[in-house]
Copies of this chain bind each other. A is one copy, B any other.
Amino acid sequence: MDREQFRAAAHSAIDDIVSYFDSVPDRRVLPAVDPGYLRPLIPENPPTEPEDWAKIQEDVDTKIKPGLTHWQSPNFMAYYPASVTYPSILGEMYSATFTAPAFNWLCSPACTEMETIVMDWVAKALGLPECFLSTSKNLGGGVIQNSASDAIATMLVAARERRVREMVLAEGLKEGTTEYEERKMDLQPRLVAIASDQTHSSAAKGALIAGTRFRSVSTRLEENMEMTGSRLREVLEQCDKDGLTPYHLTMTFGTTNTCSVDRFAEIKAVLQEKPAWQRIWVHVDAAYAGAALVADEWQYIAKNFAEGVDSFNMNMHKWLLVNFDASVLFVRNRLDLTNALDITPTYLRNPYSDMGTVIDYRNWSISLGRRFRALKIWFVMRSYGLNGMKAHIRKTIELGNTFADLVRGRSDLFEIVTKPAFALTVFRIKNPQVANGSASGVTVVQKDEIADGITKKVYELINARGEIFITSTVIDGIYVIRVVSANPMAEEKFVRNAFDIVVRTTEEVLQEKK
């Protein structure tokens, strides 16, 4: 493909991309394909000779698009959103053009330096405390990770190394000696990572990757599925009894199931109770809800992170207008990362890195190579401006409130299960045989197998029909439906339409049950 063929192909692709976005609201949000649909449509072997772009683009249209789940659809109300915006696509185009693995500064100085600068922009936009800026005295800073799972796995490894090092040094052993290494290996199996049972599965997976134990703190519906100080204390005390060393705690700002916020103040107070607990690495996972921090009215939450928090991550690619992957991770002390992950062989040495005057992000992540992802974040922040980003967050939270109000308005059919938060409403269908007691949303919803069955039926019917896409989950033994409408195309009319579908389907299921 020469320059003119590319120019023509790219112009055609751009037109196709614009048409795709225009068509998204009218497409069935969930594709009508069965597993294995694609294999018969694609040749068994790669072609021997080059093929024309026109043929490839046609295949995208006829074979790929029908098999996509349209996450940009305003009828996509499942999981949490995964956004993409036009400036973000421009970022990917330039990122690919400037391809460089960029594992150290010299590999492409602009790539490293822009990442540092843009991460400072993001920290400021979110109102994060000064200690997470690259310019802070405590050597904080941000790094773009592939995903929140990678960020959390990296934090667990760094936390494990920091804790074991501290323990071995405290015993008077010298780093680099055989005794030191042996003692580290002895201590490691006693380490345990802690998170609530509502924490994203990446915390347990990260602990598994790091080869350490994992224990979870239980949550209750009457506590809105939030991790509380007292329940954390129980787990910490049990670890003490079992001779285990808690080394990492994940606090969640916006849990996966219900967008609950762990009780930071209580938790931090508990961690202060014992010297050993003070040494636990505290990570805040704000993968989805962290985006809300761009709006001034939520920034009071970030003030909690000024003390006693070692690291913080959020995914701009969920709710903050940058396409996947744009998982931003901030640490209070970059040496915690580089001490753990820096393995520098000769072929990665260069005078700039050796002087310590530049950042080598390869020591901040599991991946060595990295893409120039700062560009798309830079483009999006400039194209929207802070005010544009705030407006997006405020609008979608408002849409969530609208949906929750609609649900509340039909207390004959529905029960709100957890406190609606950050554009998410979690509810279930009522068991029609039970007297109405929880219309206010204050009374705690009780376990009810009939309600579970009806809710599951309604959920499955809605997704099978594919007009909207929602998710279900089980919290504290209760089957619930989650609705979140927070991608860039979200609008009130779609939220109202979704509610109508939920009502219609519920009435249909209840009618059948009679």
Decide yes or no: A69 and B107 within 8 Å by CB, A125-B46, A210-B211 being known contacts: yes
* Chain B residues in 8 Å Cβ range of A105: 35
Of A3, A46, A105, the most chain B CB neighbours within 10 A belong to A46
Q: Which of A18-73 contact B (CB under 8 A)?
A: 18, 20-22, 30-31, 33, 35-39, 42, 45-51, 53, 55-56, 60, 63-69, 71-72
Q: Are B109 and A69 in contact (CB under 8 A)?
A: yes
The listed residue (B93, B147, B324, B371) touching A99 by CB distance below 8 A is B324
Q: How far is the CA of A121 from the CA of B46 in the complex (A)?
A: 6
Whole-angstrom distance from the CB of A327 to the nearest CB of chain B?
8
A180 at the interface (CB under 8 A from B): no
The listed residue (B67, B101, B189, B341) touching A82 by CB distance below 8 A is B101
* Chain B residues in 8 Å Cβ range of A79: 101, 347
Contact with B along A1-21 (1 / 0, CB 8 A): 101011101110111011011
Q: Are A382 and B68 in contact (CB under 8 A)?
A: no
Of A17, A358, A471, the most chain B CB neighbours within 10 A belong to A17
Extra contacts besides A38-B110, A71-B99, A257-B347 (20): CB < 8 Å: A10-B17, A35-B352, A35-B357, A37-B109, A39-B113, A46-B385, A48-B385, A51-B383, A60-B94, A84-B99, A146-B146, A146-B150, A185-B213, A188-B188, A201-B343, A201-B344, A201-B368, A204-B343, A208-B343, A209-B209
* Chain B residues in 8 Å Cβ range of A185: 189, 213
Q: Which of A123-142 contact B (CB under 8 A)?
A: 124-125
Q: Are B84 and A147 in contact (CB under 8 A)?
A: no
> Whose C-beta in chain B lies nearest to the C-beta of A384?
B50
Contact with B along A353-368 (1 / 0, CB 8 A): 0000110000000111
Q: Are A99 and B113 in contact (CB under 8 A)?
A: no
Q: Are B385 and A50 in contact (CB under 8 A)?
A: yes
* Chain B residues in 8 Å Cβ range of A17: 10, 93-94, 97
Q: Are B13 and A148 in contact (CB under 8 A)?
A: no
Q: Are B211 and A51 in contact (CB under 8 A)?
A: no
* Chain B residues in 8 Å Cβ range of A385: 46-51
Q: How far is the CA of A65 from the CA of B383 in the complex (A)?
A: 20
A162 at the interface (CB under 8 A from B): no
Q: Are A149 and B369 in contact (CB under 8 A)?
A: yes
Can you list 21 A-B pairs with a CB-CB distance of less than 8 A? A3-B22, A10-B89, A35-B113, A42-B114, A47-B385, A48-B387, A49-B388, A50-B382, A65-B110, A67-B108, A67-B113, A69-B107, A71-B100, A71-B108, A96-B323, A99-B323, A150-B366, A201-B368, A205-B341, A205-B366, A256-B347
